[in-house]
Amino acid sequence: MELLLLGVSHHTASVDLRERVDFSKRGVAEALRELAVYPAPAEAVVLTTCNRAEVYVACEHPEATQRDLGRFMSRFHDVPESELAPHLYTHTGIDVARHLFRVAAGLDSLVVGEPQIFGQIKAAFATASRQRTPGSLLNKRCTSSFAVGKRVRAETGLGEGAVSVSYAAISLARKIFGNLHERRVLVVGAGEMAELTAIHLQSQPVAHIVVANRTLARAQALAHKVGGTAAEWSALDDELIHADIVVTATGAQNAVISADSIGAVMRARRNRPLFVVDIGLPRDVDPAAGEFEQVFLYNIDDLRAMISENLARRQEQTTHAEAMIGREVDQFAIWQRSRGTIPTVVALRRRFEAVRQAELERLTPKLHGLSADARAQVEEVTRLLVQKLLLAPTAQLKAAPDEATAARYSEALTQLFELEEPRPTDGAIDQGDRADAGSSGTSAPTPTAKSPVAS
């Protein structure tokens, strides 16, 4: 059984195409249902975000399945195959794990380190689990990717710092005021930018939003939209006294708030801190207003500078993050190889056990004269003997440095001990592996306890 990934992302396709192959249009559940009919892979997970549409499957014949998956995507989204094919990318084997780990860590995102992808992978896995489409292979990949994504974010600065204007403004407000839910926001202007910012602020738990605009009707319209109140233009100074956060975005050609009026406002406020975000172009607030001690005045360029700095910092962290992912993938590969040798280990153990049982059987008449205690001891000694003999070869087999070596070892053992043809892994063998991992103390990660479910 091999893993295969087929997908489209912002790296390979334009927004236009990405919109057309968005699985969320018809629903991921629906996609999984169709997938189960044809090409019917053993396991499947569909991941969809606004920047990517990916299908992860486990199958017997990757090459054939890859073609089938391409056809499936084109049919499901009603996009001609010839149009879709050049934008598809595919990974197999351990590269699927690498890709998923990178995606979970936010390394493959349009905005490096963005946090949403994490929840999106979880949602994709949850939807698939409800349909019972991921089995033990994808199960392990997904749960590992959550852990890896979390660790990479925690140990690098990959997800830190605001990378959008609204978010930058809100994170600044948090640095000044801490909690925002008792803060009063004043939006000056009712144009597009003002509206965008107001809507973004509304999603934050702020106490109240007041909109002031030269045309009261437009202020009222925006206030209605964001659940705030409108203020007369003449009451602007009064509103400034009561606000904590001021966002200005008017289309005025000159500053609408002078440094003098800010000075008067600060006296009336008894110097309570005032955070002013001026996103108007040209600027709405006299830059000299920022000279007052407790006035924190940021204009659009300041915010943009912060954002690009944050982006650069995230970029710096990617090397560190990639290295971490590399280590995680190596670990994962070791685990996977140890899984590949499980049938041999099990067969070897069965063989030894069979010899032991046969010998004990043969000795039964001779042992008959012994006490029950002594018989139990013979049983115990032979069991320990077998266990100890198997310890080193099992550990060596599991720690094989690469797939070829592991295969050679397995082959040699099978021939030397005349083992039966190893069967593909199943639940029972999985359990045997866990018991064995416990007794031989190998460091390879044990598979997750979640019971594998196949479609």
Partner 1 sequence: MNFIPLLFYAAAGLAYGLHFARRSPQAGRMATASLAAAALVHTFVIGMQTMEAGHLPFVGAAAAISAFVWLLAVAYLYTEVSTDERAIGVFIVPLLLVLQAVSAVGDRVPEPTPVLDSPLLALHVMSVLFAYAGFALACVVGITYVLLFRELKAKQLGFFAARLPSLQVLDAMNGRAVGIGWLFLTAGLVVGALWLFQLQPDTVDPRVRAMSLLDPKIFVVLLSWLVYSFELYARRAIGWNGKRAAWLSALGFSIVLLNLVPVGYFLTESHNF
Active site (annotated) includes residue 59: no
Cβ closest to partner 1, residue 178 vs residue 401? 178
User: 3: left (phi > 0), else alpha (psi -120 to 50), else beta?
Assistant: beta
The distance of closest approach from Cβ of residue 205 to partner 1 in the complex, given in angstroms and rounded to an integer, is 15
Cβ closer to partner 1: 81 or 309? 309
Closest to partner 1 by CB, 287 vs 438, is 287
Q: Where is 5: in which H helix or E strand?
A: strand 2-9
CB 191 within 8 A of CB 215: no
Tell me the closest approach of the beta carbon of residue 269 to partner 1, in angstroms.
8
| Residue 42 or 306 having the CB closest to partner 1 | 306
* Cβ-Cβ contacts under 8 Å for 305 (sequence gap 6 or more): none
Scan for tokens 């045309």, then name that residue: 215
Nearest residue to 251 (alpha-carbon basis) of 221, 296, 215: 215
Say how many C-beta atoms besides its own lie within 10 A of residue 252's C-beta.
15
CB of 435 to partner 1, least distance (A): 32
Nearer to partner 1, 3 or 324 (CB): 324
> What does each C-alpha distance from 365 to 153, 355, 369, 380, 381 come to in angstroms?
66, 17, 8, 18, 18
First CA to last CA across the chain, in angstroms? 15
- For residues 186 and 277, which CB has a smaller minimum distance to partner 1 in the complex? 277
Residues that bind partner 1 (CB under 8 A): 154-155, 160, 172, 174-178, 269-273, 293-294, 296, 298, 302, 305-306
In angstroms, what is the minimal distance from the CB of 350 to partner 1?
44
Query: What separation in angstroms does the CA of 128 have from each of 12, 60, 139, 142, 218?
Result: 25, 20, 10, 11, 47
Q: Which of 50, 123, 252, 311 is catalytic?
A: 50
CA distance 375 to 140: 44
Q: Which residue has the tokens 């000075």?
A: 263
**H, E, C per residue of 115-150:** CHHHHHHHHHHHHHHHCCCCCHHHHHHHHHHHHHHH
Least distance (Å) between residue 286 CB and partner 1? 17
Query: Tokens in use for 383?
Result: 């069991």
In terms of CB distance, is 268 or 333 closer to partner 1?
Answer: 268
- CB-based contacts of 262, cutoff 8 Å, min separation 6: 240, 274, 276, 285, 286, 289, 292, 295
Contact 103, 141 (CB under 8 A): no
Q: Tell me which amino acid residue 122 is.
A: K
- Residue 150: what are its φ and ψ, rounded to 5°? -65, -45
Which residues are identified as catalytic?
A: 50
